[in-house]
Chains A and B, each alone.
Chain A
Amino acid sequence: MSAEHTESPGRLFPGKGEMARRVRDYPWAASPVGDPASWPESMRTALRICLTSRFPMIVWWAPDLRFAYNDAYLPLLGTKHPALARPGAEVWGDIWHIVGPMLESVLETGEATWSEDLLLPMDRHGYWEETYWTYSYSPIHDDCGTVRGAFTAVNETTERVVGERRLAALQDLGAQAGTARTVGEACGLVAAALERASADVPYAAVHLRSPDTGGLVLAASSPAGADPVPLPGGPGGWPLEEVLRTGRAATVGDLAARFGELPGGSWGRPPAEAVVLPLPGETGAEPVGVIVLAASAGRALDEAYRTFLDLVAQHTAALVNGAVAYQVQQHRAEELAELDRAKTAFFSNISHEFRTPLTLIMGPLEELRAELSGFDEHVREQVEVIHRNGLRMGRLVTTLLDFSRIEAGRMQARYEPVDLSVFTAELASVFRSAVERAGLAFEVDCPPLPQPVHLDRGMWEKVVLNLLSNALKFTFDGAIRVALGTEDGQAVLRVSDTGTGIAAEEMPRLFERFHRIPNVRSRSEEGSGIGLALVQELVGLHGGTITADSVEGAGTVFTVRLPFGHAHLPADRLAEPGPAAVSATAEPFVQEALRWLPRPSAAQEPPEGPPWAGRHPQEGDGGPDGAAQDGTARDGGARQGARVLVADDNADMREYLARLLEPRYRVTAVPDGLAALAEARLGRTDLVVSDVMMPGMGGLELVAALRADPRTAGIPVLLLSARAGEEASIEGLEAGADDYLVKPFSAQDLLARVRTNLELARVRNHHAGWRAAMVASLQEGFFVCDSDGAVVEINTAFTDILGYGPEGLPYPPQYPWWPAPSVDPEAHERAGEAYAQLMGDRRGSFTVPVLHRDGHRIWVAATFSTVEDPETGEQMRVGTVRDVTAERFAAQREAALTAMSVRLSQASSVPDAVRAALDALGGLWHTRSVLAVTWRGGGGEPAVTGPDGGLRWQDLPEQRRRAVEALRGHPPLHPAASEDPAGLGVTLDHPEGLLSLWLEPDPARPFGDEDPTLLGLLAGHLGQALRRAHQTDQQREVALTLQRAILGPDRLPSGFAVRYEPATRPLEVGGDWYDTVELPDGRIGIVVGDCVGRGLSAATVMGQLRSACRALLLQASGPAETLTSLDRFAALVPGALCTTVFCGILDPGSGRLVYSSAGHPPGILAHPDGRTELLEGGRSTPLAVRPGHPRPEAERTVPARSTLLLYTDGLVERRRRPLTAGVDQAAAAVGGGRGAPLEELAVRLMERLAPEGGYDDDVAFLLYRHPGPLEVSFPAESGRLAQVRGALREWLARCDLPPRQAQGVLVAAGEACANAIEHGHRDHPGQQVRLTATATADGLRLTVADSGRWKTPDPGSNAHRGRGLTLMRALMQQVTIDTGDGGTTVDMQTRIGR
């Protein structure tokens, strides 16, 4: 026996650890293993390594597999310790069926096994635990090659495996964000995600607060449908209510006693513990519910587990809250849009819909009344009832129409100066008989006012009549009083009554549309509730106000105030004073009022006329004295008679004719043909009596012109001429005159001819009249174009739609409603195309943008066809137009929403979403300016975003700032407009506070009525997107944290910088990784790899390859061997095929790098002079492509101050660009940044190489600069200086500095260190001084930091210290000294010269 074999166990198995002691003390000789002296040398060595290693390790003895282990192994063994030299089968009974055969195979074959993250269910802490292990069994041979035992290096990976799995589960859960539209859907997604995570959450149940009852309702569970019932006699169910009430989580530890067996998830065994967690509401709100999360029986419910379950609850709450918020916002947006649509549809449809049947009722009724004049009193009575109610209905419809016109901005007001006192008194007098018949006093006090008031007569009539009718309706005794006066420079009208009055609580709703005051005594139950609302609108149009004061039971006073002058009225609506007369409007009011009163006798009823027949008086007119001769039974004075137009240039003749005709007809006299034509075109003429010979336009030309115009073609013309004879009369008749009278003529003859012609025309025009009535009542606009394209006839609806009335006819092309080419060329062109179609095709339809007379833009749809004029054979175009602005806007709104959604869906962060929205809004409205202003919760200056990036709030013009500020005063999603500057804005919720959007329109395209609604909707959409983007931001954080958790190492060796960035869109982790491994011999293993594919699966493969590569680097002799072994491993891992890896081993001292590349892009080496080279050696195929094949290896020494970049292809690969171009670009970037500190270079690379819109693949890279920084810490003692200097001298040599410069740096550093030591001695003896030195390609930087105070150089007292500073400044290019409370830092830099 050699001396070595007789060594004592103390020397054989050294070490202070427990196991070393136990091994030394163990009675080996008495055990089957025998005395250590009898073991082969390899076994003793193995055990020695095992006992001194800090890795968990086991040594096994063949054949019965007894084993020894080290201190590091103790936690893995748990309660099984001590088990020294006991058989494995005995100790590891619970897993022996798995590990036993592996060990046996090692002993038999002598080949090592490798197991990665192997699941070993183990009972080591008193329960069956889920544990994971990565280990390798290697054979231990004796000198003869016989396998005498096995060696195991073990690594427990439970924490990592479980940690990664939990992170993946959280990410899965987080990935559901933004997809759920309802709370139910959100809960379903949570349950489905948790079912996938059953290894960590075997059972889960979401209970939500019911919106109706407030109680908790089970919303979803995992596994689906599981709903454990409390056992009878047990401790009860889940503490749901308690958790909801307190908002604090509760742990339930007695699951079996409460419920029996709960689902065990993938672990199989029923869980023993569960936590019940509150689901917090939106910031600050109460919990929305609670979630029950059972903990797997396989893992202890420790702090990490609780944190995980907490995160699950938070994610769940976020999903539920997101869905709630989505529903609320969606609902709000839909409500707004719906309300808007309903309103528009209601007003524009109903009035027109009523009009048509009314026309068809009232027309025939008029005829019937006339025909029934001789009939039975009773029948006439019935017809009168129908008539009166028809009038009433007409009034209601007119009121509604007024409303819709006001709403649509189409009220054709015409403000003329009016003597208000006369006009009001006249209006009031219309009601006098009705008021007096009701037995009430009627006081009208209308003294003259100092100046006229600008009024639309029709509107004012409605104001006064409505107020009077209202007063009469609610007053049963006492008086009604109308008083006019001047107060505060305004005209004031008061209508007061002594009626029932209005209850105080009803006052606020008095002027509300469709609101009727309930349970009030009145003369009639009828009423639509719109009279006062209309009055208020009408007064408003006049720039006035109306208020009401009332005392219940005593009476009511309505006060209307109108400003004098016309500055407050739109200039284009002002008109010259017209004829003063109470129009037909009054009639229905009085009729209606009279019906509320007892009827004394039919004779007192005022005369009635058809209110809408105004323009077509031929139906139902006639002179009273001519009644018998006419054979028609018409009453009414001359005012209601037919209108005769007299044209004669001789004034005496004109007067004579007028005198003759005036008793029977309304006569208008003009001096020539042109004036006659203009008058006739106004549509007020029933017959023309014209002289033939007149200056300007003679009678014959007049006839021809009248006949040429469809509006006047039907007017009968009686020509008067001094020229007798057949020829003259034939000429006249040929021209189209209806009759011909030769001067001189008898009065009788003239009257007879006029009467006959009127009668003939009445018969003849009966059809035409009907046609006119029908056309007028058409809901759609109606037009006729002649063959030249001029619009020659239109109806009221046409005027309503476009604002152009019949007074402007004919409208030749280009029509005034065409948009001007200078303002809107596109619309102008469309109008031109439409016109070409109108004139070119026989029939068709088109939709075009046109301009309303008041300047706002509308869209109309027109349908037309060609008709031949039966008389002239001219090809006329007849068509209808419909205002489709609303539909158009609805379609545009849809399109805008879609466009916005698309833009927003591409936004991956909150600022991105805001910018996308600004782009979309600006594009949609062609705005002059568009801004987003974020008001953060904490106050401070708001952040401003313009379409081209950030702006500063204080740089905005004052007015714009004010307008944007004002938006905050409005509730979210309620758009508000501003006049100066003209603009529109809206405020919405932003994840960090509020966001205001502000748009200023192109002056040529002012905002329309629809735009605020649309902006509101879009803002709602944006709000959603911001919420989603915010969640994406958070998910991104989670993803990064996750990847970095999987990626290591925590601490990089010095001289390295690394980056990992997941793909930007879609946000995904991937399979790229980097790694550094510090090898026992001081060298550093470097790995950069890239697994195929993306997402968690790739990340998982990456994790396995990374771990394996780490372990292999520790074992293998070099990079090639590492990759060869990794090939074999990768062949066993699904998804690892074709992974590319760069693997190198670097000697940080010499810079020698040995490397091998498995199909990986070449490394880049940037020399200090800017030259770059590629590390293209050692290349072979990607992993697992040819397992077992040897791999090549290459070597390169990294020169001093050069920079090495290793990367994955995500950094350089771009679509439609060769990879080499990307590599060149990266090389240029590293070369360009060789002078920058390494971390700064990493930031720069990430930015420089990023494609627009972010990286679309994940990116990992690793930078190394040789040599790595020097960091030395030493106590502030002068005796340490030499040692520090030695280290610095060596490092400077590695930097390859010229010797003289190196000496200079050495002295400068020495001076700084000497100073630090002096401070240290003075203030804090023994304090540490820290010296760091870093190199770039062309520079050095040294810092010396201590905890003392810098001594101000004072040459007098201590000359050499001052000299020290002088030396530092002279030897280095830049020296800064920073003295703070914490100590002094000297920072010195110099450039490296040659």
Chain B
Amino acid sequence: MTTRLRLDTGRRPDGTPVLTAAGEIDMSNAGEFTAAVAGAVPASGRLVVDLTAVEYLDSAGLITLFTHAERIHLVAPALLGPVLTVSGLTELTTVDIA
């Protein structure tokens, strides 16, 4: 049994690609998340990773975000704020706290 996670890709009206995740991200499903991010990162410009509906994120998911830090734009809920801050991710990429 793996942790509940839904991933959807789409585009904003301005054409920016968006990856929307909902659920929890831990070591059991981090591979899935990594694949989704890697697949969605555009050749140029940034990928918006929308974590608004993510209730849990730990280092297994953070590693993916770190890997693509320069190519993504994060949208995260307040709940994930501390984790993103203490991990240092907020210093490498743009994070919008929803």
Contact = CB atoms under 8 A, between A and B. Distances in A.
B26 A1300 contact: no
Interface in B1-47: 1-4, 24, 26-28
Interface in B46-98: 56-60, 62-63, 66, 78-83, 86-87
A1303 B1 contact: no
B86 A1282 contact: no
Contacts of B57: 1307
**Which among A1280, A1283, A1364 has the greatest number of chain B C-beta atoms within 10 A?**
A1364
Contact of A1303 (B26, B62, B66, B80): B80
A1351 interface: no
Nearest to A1358: B63
A1359 B24 contact: no
B33 to A, nearest CB: 13
Contact of B82 (A1285, A1304, A1310): A1304
Q: For the side of the interface on A, what is the size category?
A: 20 to 34
**Which among A1299, A1304, A1363 has the greatest number of chain B C-beta atoms within 10 A?**
A1363
Contact of A1307 (B1, B2, B58): B58
B56 A1310 contact: yes
B27 A1281 contact: yes
A1279 interface: yes
A1371 B87 CA distance: 10
B50 to A, nearest CB: 18
A1367 B83 contact: yes
A1371 B82 CA distance: 8
A1370 interface: yes
Contacts of A1367: 58-59, 62, 83, 86-87
Interface in A1268-1284: 1278-1283
Interface string A1275-1314: 0001111110100000000000001100110110011001
Contacts of B81: 1300
A1303 B63 contact: no
* Secondary structure class of chain B's binding surface, majority of residues: helix
B26 to A, nearest CB: 5
A1314 B28 CA distance: 9
A863 B82 CA distance: 100
Interface string A188-221: 0000000000000000000000000000000000
B87 A1363 contact: yes
Contacts of B26: 1278, 1281-1282, 1285, 1310, 1314
A1314 B58 CA distance: 10
Given A1299-B79, A1306-B56, A1371-B82, A1278 B63 contact: no
B58 A1364 contact: yes
A1363 B81 CA distance: 16
Nearest to A1359: B63
Contact of B27 (A1304, A1317, A1359): A1317
A802 B60 CA distance: 100
Contacts of A1280: 1
Interface in A1298-1356: 1299-1300, 1303-1304, 1306-1307, 1310-1311, 1314, 1317
Given A1278-B27, A1300-B79, A1360 B86 contact: no
Nearest to B79: A1303
Given A1314-B27, A1363-B59, A1307 B3 contact: no
A1370 B2 CA distance: 27
Nearest to B86: A1370
A1369 to B, nearest CB: 9
Nearest to A1362: B59
Contacts of A1303: 56, 79-80, 82-83
A915 interface: no
A1280 to B, nearest CB: 8
A1310 B58 contact: yes
**Which among B4, B27, B63 has the greatest number of chain A C-beta atoms within 10 A?**
B27
Contacts of A1360: 59-60, 62-63, 66
Interface string A1246-1287: 000000000000000000000000000000001111110100
Nearest to A1310: B58
Contact of A1314 (B60, B66, B78, B79): B60
A429 interface: no
A929 interface: no
Contacts of A1371: 82-83, 86
A253 B2 CA distance: 67
Contact of A1282 (B3, B60, B62, B82): B3
Contacts of A38: none
A1361 interface: yes
B1 to A, nearest CB: 5
Contact of B28 (A1279, A1307, A1311, A1370): A1279
A1227 B66 CA distance: 52
A146 interface: no
A1278 B5 CA distance: 14
B24 A1282 contact: yes
A429 to B, nearest CB: 116
A329 to B, nearest CB: 73
A1197 interface: no
Contacts of A1304: 82-83
Contact of B62 (A1306, A1317, A1363): A1363
A1366 interface: yes
Contacts of A1364: 58-59
Contacts of B66: 1359-1360, 1363
A1364 B87 CA distance: 9
A1277 to B, nearest CB: 8
Contacts of B87: 1363, 1366-1367, 1370
Contacts of A1306: 56
Contacts of B27: 1278, 1281, 1314, 1317
**Which among A1304, A1360, A1367 has the greatest number of chain B C-beta atoms within 10 A?**
A1360
A1366 B83 CA distance: 11
Nearest to A1318: B27
Nearest to A1369: B86
A1359 to B, nearest CB: 7
A55 B83 CA distance: 52
A1364 B82 CA distance: 14
B13 to A, nearest CB: 32
A1366 B86 CA distance: 8
Given A1282-B3, A1363-B87, A1307 B79 contact: no
A1382 to B, nearest CB: 24
Nearest to B77: A1303
Nearest to B57: A1307
Nearest to A1364: B59
Contacts of A1366: 86-87
A1361 B82 contact: no
A1364 B4 CA distance: 21
Nearest to A1283: B1
Contacts of B62: 1360, 1363, 1367
A33 B59 CA distance: 69
Given A1310-B26, A1310-B58, A1367-B87, 19 more contacts: A1278-B26, A1279-B28, A1281-B27, A1281-B28, A1282-B4, A1282-B26, A1283-B1, A1303-B56, A1303-B79, A1303-B82, A1304-B82, A1307-B57, A1310-B56, A1311-B59, A1317-B27, A1360-B59, A1360-B60, A1363-B62, A1367-B59
Closest 3 CB pairs of A and B: A1360-B63, A1370-B86, A1278-B28
Interface of A: 1278-1283, 1285, 1299-1300, 1303-1304, 1306-1307, 1310-1311, 1314, 1317, 1359-1361, 1363-1364, 1366-1367, 1370-1371
24 contacts: A1280-B1, A1281-B26, A1281-B27, A1281-B28, A1282-B28, A1285-B26, A1285-B56, A1300-B78, A1303-B56, A1303-B82, A1307-B58, A1310-B26, A1314-B26, A1314-B27, A1314-B60, A1317-B27, A1359-B66, A1360-B63, A1360-B66, A1363-B66, A1364-B59, A1367-B83, A1370-B87, A1371-B86
